[in-house]
Amino acid sequence: MEDSRLPIVDLHCDLTGYLAWIPGATPLDVNRIGCAIPHLQAGRVRLQTMAFFTPTEPGSAAFTLKQARLYRDDLLRQEDVFAPICPKDLQNQVLHGDRIAMVAAIENASGLCEEEEPLELAFSRLEEIIKLAGPVLYISLSHVDENRFSGGNLTPGIGLKPDGEELLRYLSGRRIAVDLAHASDAAAFDILSFIDQQNLNILVMASHSNFREVCDHPRNLPQELVQEIVHRQGLIGLNFLKNFVHPTHPEALLEHIRYGFRHAPQTLAFGADFFQESGVLGESYYHEEHRSAARYQSILTELKQEFSPEQLMDLSYRNVLRFLERLWG
């Protein structure tokens, strides 16, 4: 009997970083990470972006390569669970596949090149990552802090830097999107301006960001940036971390979705950002209602009361599939 639940495409999780960072970690650790395999299966996730995250610190490039090898050697070898993304068969993988298709991404370009290394290493390491993991969906230039490429969310006023400009030039035409989720506001607008001024062939997204008009946090997108992403036919992936939804009101996720359908209906997607919990005995980073990928279907059931089937299909998978057709078509 065919599963009638909507398939889910998610733009961001940190499973590879968890596996690389925590001794003895496995992708079955349901109490420690919201994108453990049983959670992904219970939520009917059919395409999961695996973001290779690293802080900006010594060893960042080696840590990213470690994740790319884990992606290839540990996850993709579980052929009964995972499948490599097939750009020419995406619709079939998402709508009719019985495995979780995976695609790689890079969260923080410090994972390509450390602060004092020659910039050319960023380009050669990106090619090595592609050989290991296959297509890369997106790259974010920074994380929360400033690096050699740009400012991050917690470094307001620091924009795009010369090395960031060179990285953007390298990415032009390579079918890899630029992720603005961790850019400072100044860096995000600088990136967009530079793409326009240089006539670069680069698509943009915010893979795991909510709306600042709903929850005032520097990790969330200001209205002006939402408008820019909509104008460029990008993507905005809804983040499930409670500090970005609302610290005390889980129902605010619905407010973010309402806001998204009003202002960015063709860009709205999921980017839950599941990473290691604070600890089994500690307070979760997530509201209980959004704590794992298993919650996707209950979230959709709640949304049915207010949104049409067409809207829910766009949110669940269609907006991302349309974007990927443009990126890789």
State the average pLDDT over residues 3-25.
Answer: 95
Question: If we measure between CA atoms, which residue out of 285, 165, 154, 273 comes closest to residue 219?
Answer: 154
Would you tell me how many other CB atoms lie within 10 Å of the CB of residue 205? 30
The predicted-structure confidence for 37-71, as pLDDT tens digits, reads as follows 999 999 999 999 999 999 999 999 999 999 999 99
State the average pLDDT over residues 28-41.
Answer: 97
Q: What is the pLDDT of residue 279?
A: 52
What is the CATH architecture assignment of 8-328? Answer: Alpha-Beta Barrel (3.20)
**Is it the case that residue 281 has pLDDT exceeding 70?**
no
List the domain boundaries for the chain.
Answer: 8-328
The predicted-structure confidence for 221-258, as pLDDT tens digits, reads as follows 999 999 999 999 999 999 999 999 999 999 999 999 99
Q: Rounded to 5, what percent of the chain is helix, strand, coil? A: 40, 15, 40
Q: What is the pLDDT of residue 283?
A: 83
Distance in angstroms (rounded) separating the CA atoms of residues 96 and 3: 9
Amino acid code (one letter) for 127? E
Q: What is the pLDDT of residue 4?
A: 83
Question: If we measure between CA atoms, which residue out of 107, 129, 104 comes closest to residue 50?
Answer: 104
Place 278 in a pLDDT band, splitting at 50, 70 and 90: low
32: CB partners within 8 A, 6+ apart: 18, 22, 25, 276, 277, 280
**Is it the case that residue 280 has pLDDT exceeding 90?**
no
What is the percent of the chain with per-residue pLDDT over 70, rounded to a whole number? 98
Phi, psi of 221 (to 5 degrees): -85, 130
Q: What is the pLDDT of residue 148?
A: 98
What is the Cα 160 distance to its own chain's centre?
20
What is the percent of the chain with per-residue pLDDT over 90, rounded to a whole number? 96
Going by the DSSP 8-state scheme, the letter that residue 3 receives in this structure is -
Query: 187, exposed or middle or buried, with CB in 10 Å at 0-12, 13-18, 19+?
Result: buried
The predicted-structure confidence for 174-232, as pLDDT tens digits, reads as follows 999 999 999 999 999 999 999 999 999 999 999 999 999 999 999 999 999 999 999 99
